[in-house]
């Protein structure tokens, strides 16, 4: 079977997807008897010979179930999408996912192609000083308690990813959209240099660009400027 598949590929940019009816290791199986390590060698040798790479899938780790009950239930990661090196170079933003379908014992595979890479620029680094900041413990707990399926190592990898995302969201400065909303601003909290100028960094961090620009047009040296101002940006302006 694998010899026939090897002869099918054409060119440098290609993808092969579907039910492979085999798995790469016992980590891709839950339930039933464990297989011997040697039983995976033929499929893994085929993957290596083809020089192809499996796309990570969003969705369930296991894509097939035998529809049995209790201890007889077995599920495996049979459905995979493999692509060539040329594919990854030309379409680095390709994303894969699977979706449960009640009318079949296999999940449905989806693939979305893009020439733009979906990888984040830069590297996430945890700052040890965050441990004393408000909200960090809650962010870590939220990320780590995220539900995910798969082998122990896969679940750990996913939990780390969700925790990183939770920390990135915590790290973002709060943004307040105030168009159409009447708000009270403490002017003194938004000023710097002894109250003579607006703290541009703070204002830009708290408000959308358009609203921040309007705030900084207000004359801070105006003696009539109260300690609090009420404004309705979208309707009345400043």
Give me the pLDDT at residue 28, please. 94
Sort 23 into a burial class: Cβ within 10 Å, 0-12 / 13-18 / 19+: buried
Same domain? For 79 and 152 the reply is no
Q: Which domain holds residue 29?
A: 15-112
How confident is the model over 79-91, as a mean pLDDT? Answer: 91
Binning pLDDT at 50, 70 and 90, where does residue 222 land?
low
Instruction: Let me know: does 98 contact 79? Beta carbons within 8 Å.
Output: yes
Q: How far is the C-alpha of 117 from the C-alpha of 119, rounded, in Å?
A: 6
User: Is 206 inside a domain boundary?
Assistant: yes
145-187 pLDDT, tens per residue?
877 777 777 777 778 878 887 887 777 655 444 444 444 445 5
Same domain? For 24 and 95 the reply is yes
Among 69-78, 88-97, 125-134, name the one with the lowest average pLDDT. 125-134
Q: What is the DSSP letter of 217?
A: T
Q: How far is the C-alpha of 133 from the C-alpha of 170, rounded, in Å?
A: 10
Same domain? For 149 and 188 the reply is no
Same domain? For 187 and 155 the reply is no
Give me the pLDDT at residue 1, please. 57
Instruction: Let me know: does 93 contact 118? Beta carbons within 8 Å.
Output: yes
* High-pLDDT (> 90) share of the chain, %: 23
Number of domains in the chain: 3
User: Is 72 inside a domain boundary?
Assistant: yes
Same domain? For 45 and 25 the reply is yes
Is residue 231 scored above 50 in pLDDT? no
Domain boundary, last residue among 157, 172, 187: 172
Is residue 42 scored above 70 in pLDDT? yes
189-221 pLDDT, tens per residue?
666 666 667 777 767 766 677 777 877 777 665
User: Is 168 inside a domain boundary?
Assistant: yes
Instruction: Let me know: does 183 contact 230? Beta carbons within 8 Å.
Output: yes
Helix (H) or strand (E) holding 205: helix 200-206
Same domain? For 158 and 179 the reply is no
Instruction: Let me know: does 207 contact 175? Beta carbons within 8 Å.
Output: yes
Is residue 124 scored above 80 in pLDDT? no
Same domain? For 181 and 106 the reply is no
Q: Of the candidates 69, 74, 67, which has an alpha carbon nearest to the alpha carbon of residue 23?
A: 74
Give me the pLDDT at residue 38, please. 93
Instruction: Let me know: does 110 contact 99? Beta carbons within 8 Å.
Output: yes
User: Is 195 inside a domain boundary?
Assistant: yes
- Rg over CA atoms, the chain: 27
Give me the pLDDT at residue 73, please. 93
Instruction: Let me know: does 225 contact 218? Beta carbons within 8 Å.
Output: yes
Give me the pLDDT at residue 115, please. 63
Give me the pLDDT at residue 221, please. 54
């Amino acid at each position: 079977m694998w010899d026939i598949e090897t002869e099918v590929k054409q060119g440098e940019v290609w993808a092969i997807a579907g039910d492979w009816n085999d798995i790469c290791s016992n980590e891709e199986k839950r339930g039933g008897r464990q297989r011997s390590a040697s039983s995976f060698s033929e499929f893994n040798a085929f993957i290596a010979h083809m020089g192809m790479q499996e796309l990570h899938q969003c969705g369930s780790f296991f894509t097939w179930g035998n529809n049995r009950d209790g201890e007889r239930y077995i599920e495996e990661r049979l459905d995979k999408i493999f692509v060539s090196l040329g594919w990854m170079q030309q379409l680095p933003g390709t994303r894969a996912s699977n979706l449960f379908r009640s009318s079949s014992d296999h999940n449905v595979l989806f693939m979305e192609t893009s020439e733009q890479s979906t990888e984040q620029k830069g590297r996430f680094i945890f700052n040890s000083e965050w441990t004393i900041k408000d909200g960090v413990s809650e962010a870590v707990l939220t990320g780590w308690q995220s539900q995910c399926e798969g082998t122990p190592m896969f679940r750990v990898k996913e939990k780390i990813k969700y925790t990183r995302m939770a920390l990135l969201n915590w790290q973002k400065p709060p943004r307040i959209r105030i168009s159409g909303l009447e708000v009270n601003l403490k002017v003194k909290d938004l000023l710097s240099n002894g109250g003579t100028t607006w703290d541009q960094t703070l204002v830009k961090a708290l408000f959308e660009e358009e609203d921040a620009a309007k705030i900084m047009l207000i004359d801070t040296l105006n003696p009539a400027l109260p300690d609090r101002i009420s404004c309705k940006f979208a309707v009345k302006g400043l």
